[in-house]
Chains A and B, each alone.
Chain A
Amino acid sequence: MEQQISSITELSKSQAPSFANYELDAAYDEMFEHDGTARAQYRPLFNRLQELAPSELKQRQQTADIAFLNQGITFTVYGNNEGTERIFPYDLLPRIITAEEWTKLEKGLAQRITALNLFLKDIYHEGRILNDGVVPRDLVYSCKHYRREMRGIRIRRDIYVSVVGTDLVRLNDGEFAILEDNLRVPSGVSYMLANRQVMKRVFPGMFSSYNVQPIDHYGQALLSTLRALAPPNRPDPTIVLLTPGVFNSAYYEHTFLARQMGIELVEGRDLIVHDNIVYMRTTGGLRRVDVIYRRVDDDFIDPLTFRPGSILGAPGLFNAYRAGNVALANAPGTGVADDKALYAFVPAIIKYYLDEDPILPNVETYLLSDDKQRRHVLANLDKLVVKAVGESGGYGMLIGPHSTAQEREVFKQLIESDPRNYIAQPTLALSRAPCFIDGRVEARHVDLRPYILYGENITIVPGGLTRVALRRGSLVVNSSQGGGSKDTWVLS
């Protein structure tokens, strides 16, 4: 390994000052082979970067930052008192995925979403998979995102998850594995689109020299997906995007997507349900709503059915939904299938419904409700990652190798008091990609979140959001935890 590190340093020193301190370690490097030579798909990019002085890279980074600032692409960090609204950090250097790699990802993701959707349909109807003992019933029934109200409801096309963001990581052997499914209200797709816009502006020549598959049609694909969910007797459906409002961290994305699709952005107070029909208040009177792309959590969408105090939803919405008069994307109750303990059963779920082996593997996962597995995890907390099953956004997590004894003690007690609520996984060496940081190129850990749309059929725009753990050595890529992102190129 030492030798490999020196070889890239040698290579870089002579030709590309920005790469002078670039290091390779055991983690898979997106750009370089183990021997320090650039991978074939990265070679033209690497060569071009060598021609650019660090000052020029810096200048382009500034151009990019200004573009983001002008577009108002921000997100909000909760629990941070100073200036909670931030610009989403953008890294200048693209991440490149080959056509061959993408074909496998696409197949694997489609397989996984198809199976998870069948699972959701099953557990809200006959529950065959529970009766057959493939997935433990108590795991499903005890999940706080399992909605008993969804039992027995037939929904349009039997599609529960229309918009999915699946988190993938690339492991040391270069193979992708699934880290997490996000089946409720996945966010971040606007950053994927914005990153591409900015990339075209900052590196127009280099971008066009590569054959990158386009992603700009995401908005139209999302619109078609939503349209496919409309009640069959509504040939020209009115589609809206329901946002919690301006204080929500993803509000920028909500406005962006509504604009892209040319649909109304509404808040709960803009909607009214009468006689099982949903209307939106407009200056011209009430207008019937047929499909709601809701970016509001289940709990809040209807105070009559779910959380009584919610003012973010519309009273009676769920009854209109049950009656088939309005579609919701995603369906309520999909969170049971992205529960982190349920995750361990997804390979079995794929096998059960499709009789296929999973194309994309899972990461090894310990269920802490199991006595034996829990004992093992508690004895190895310093090596493992512990996650709360119903959380997202990088909250409620312990990264063993980076934790203090005190933090481990806290998690030990949390786990012992509610084992069902936690899982553990080995600390993964996420792959690393070159990032432009403080005037030079350094390796940072990255993941990949492709966005999957499920309407009349499954559409995955080539690529996704590559999230970057910007702090050196950090493994947490969530934007809420100080992560950034970079453009993701899928070659054709």
Chain B
Amino acid sequence: MFYSIRHITRFSYSSPVSESAMEVRMQPRSEANQKCIRFDLATQPRSKIQGYRDHIGNIVHHFSIPGRHQQLKINAEATVEVTPALALPQALPTQAWHDLESLCASDEYWDYLVPSRYAHSSELLDVFKKEWNIERRDDPLTLLHEISALIYEEFDYAPQTTSVDSTIDHALEERRGVCQDFAHVMIALGRDLGIPCRYVSGYLYHGGARDRSAADATHAWAEAYLPDFGWIGFDPTNNIMTGERHIRTAVGRDYADVPPTKGIFKGKANTELSVGVQVSPTEAPPPGEEMIQMHTWISEPAQIEDDLQQQQQQQQQQ
């Protein structure tokens, strides 16, 4: 399948700001069953876009806009080819647990086995584990399928109930959330079982499928590392394995490693963030912006720790 992706991000500020500096993680990865054929990124006001590959292999673009501006628009367009993922057996032999042990002993997947900022153990997670008897049994693949289904059944999909920096406890407490929360819960459970797990941000092509996640938005899911098969994607939001409809942009320990945009500016202003995404098969011409439905969030000014004196003192003296 070939996809054309358009991802528009607009920051509107309640009063003019300056010296914006921003990093963007939106370029689809080229690996395994996916290949990014074309990627364009432009900003308004215009800027010189630079890029680098981070230590996890994600392509990061960044730019700075020194002058005063009251709106910042980022327009990303990509063409991606995705082929079907490798077929997996129904289940793995129980021996797979043993293979995982030796894999983990080598430390190569260390970062994906220990708790991270958003995917960590907690009392509520323990309660959830007990409630559903989540412990090593059968084989890793079967158990991961079960966990994905469990999250799908037990959590309501409810946009706007959690925010980008919500912890899993928030979702566990209320038993609802969005794809990001479900991915974090699944990662935390997987790591707890000794399975290397990581976070993937990307897009899902709906194309008429009855997916629970919102269409025309960014998406997130979890990947688990299984011996002999490598990284395998689970989408607990929709209780499906990732396949030809999932387009991966960035991977990391959790959301903190891969936010689509991350920036800072000078000035005191409220920010209104609007995001529009359209994923379509390339047979159709790439749609214009007017066809994209924008989703909007409003946030208070970023929390700046403006206690200068305290920060100056916090420097460790050696």
Residues of A within 8 A of B (CB): 76, 78, 130, 137-138, 141-142, 148-149, 151-152, 165, 182, 184-187, 244-250, 272-276, 295-297, 300, 303-304, 308-312, 315-316, 319, 322-323, 338, 391-393, 480
Contact = CB atoms under 8 A, between A and B. Distances in A.
9 contacts: A137-B107, A148-B55, A152-B55, A244-B312, A272-B66, A274-B64, A300-B311, A304-B22, A393-B316
A276 B312 contact: no
- Sorted nearest first, the 9 A-B pairs with minimum C-beta distance are A151-B55, A309-B305, A247-B312, A315-B21, A182-B318, A137-B107, A244-B312, A316-B21, A247-B309
Contacts of A310: 305, 311
Given A244-B312, A312-B312, A319-B62, A304 B317 contact: no
A311 B304 contact: yes
Nearest to A299: B314
B305 A311 contact: yes
A319 to B, nearest CB: 5
Interface in B270-318: 302-306, 308-309, 311-318
A184 B318 CA distance: 7
Contacts of B19: 272, 315
Contact of A311 (B62, B63, B308): B308
Instruction: Give the dominant DSSP class at A's interface.
Output: loop
Instruction: Give the dominant DSSP class at B's interface.
Output: mixed
Contact of B316 (A185, A275, A304, A308): A185
A148 B112 CA distance: 13
A321 B312 CA distance: 23
A267 B55 CA distance: 29
Contacts of A184: 316, 318
B111 to A, nearest CB: 7
Contacts of A297: 314-316
A187 B315 CA distance: 11
Given A137-B107, A311-B305, A319-B50, A185 B264 contact: no
A287 B3 CA distance: 45
Given A273-B64, A309-B305, A316-B64, A246 B55 contact: no
Given A245-B308, A311-B304, A315-B264, A276 B318 contact: no
Contact of A312 (B22, B63, B66, B311): B311
Contacts of B313: 76, 78, 247-249
Contacts of B55: 148-149, 151-152
B312 A392 contact: no
B318 A392 contact: yes
Nearest to B266: A315
B315 A244 contact: yes
A248 B315 contact: yes
Given A185-B318, A311-B308, A316-B64, 20 more contacts: A138-B107, A138-B110, A165-B318, A185-B315, A244-B312, A247-B309, A247-B312, A249-B315, A250-B317, A300-B311, A304-B21, A308-B302, A309-B302, A311-B305, A311-B311, A312-B311, A312-B315, A315-B19, A338-B318, A391-B316
A275 B66 CA distance: 10
Contacts of A295: 315
Contacts of A187: 317-318
A106 B4 CA distance: 63
Nearest to B23: A304
B117 interface: no
Contacts of B52: 319, 322-323
A84 to B, nearest CB: 9
A296 B50 contact: no
